[in-house]
């Protein structure tokens, strides 16, 4: 892959996006499995999103959209866990 194509993508942002989406999808599993798996993945995604945001701002905004969607998925996961997702459902 050429340097021009590599500079256009923010791989950390896409990693945050997919990890956050996996956490959101796995969060509703009952008996604390969703809490541990979905919650753990959302924490990892939050760390990746912060790193990707800093990288994106350094690259004049490249890869900010996946970070925004990852943030939405993280918020939905934490909101679902706060109302009993992964524990009660």
Please give the average pLDDT of every successive group of 10 residues along the chain, which has 89 residues.
63 94 91 88 96 86 88 94 77
- Per-residue pLDDT at 1: 53
- Per-residue pLDDT at 30: 86
- Per-residue pLDDT at 3: 59
Check: CB of residue 20 under 8 Å from CB of residue 74. Answer: yes
Q: How far is CA 38 from CA 2, 9, 20, 49, 78, in A?
A: 36, 26, 8, 16, 9
- Per-residue pLDDT at 5: 54
Q: Please, what sign has the CA dihedral across residues 25, 28, 29, 34? A: positive
Q: Please, what sign has the CA dihedral across residues 54, 55, 61, 65? A: negative
| Selection from 77, 85, 74, 28 nearest residue 48 by Cα | 74
């Amino acid at each position: 892959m050429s340097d021009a194509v590599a500079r256009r993508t923010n791989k950390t942002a896409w990693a945050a996006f997919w990890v956050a989406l996996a956490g959101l999808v796995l969060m509703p599993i009952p008996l604390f499995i969703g809490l541990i798996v979905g919650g753990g993945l959302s924490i990892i995604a939050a760390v990746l999103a912060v790193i990707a945001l800093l990288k994106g701002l350094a690259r004049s905004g490249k890869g900010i959209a996946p970070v925004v969607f990852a943030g939405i998925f993280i918020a939905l996961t934490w909101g679902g866990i706060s109302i009993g997702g992964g524990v009660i459902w």
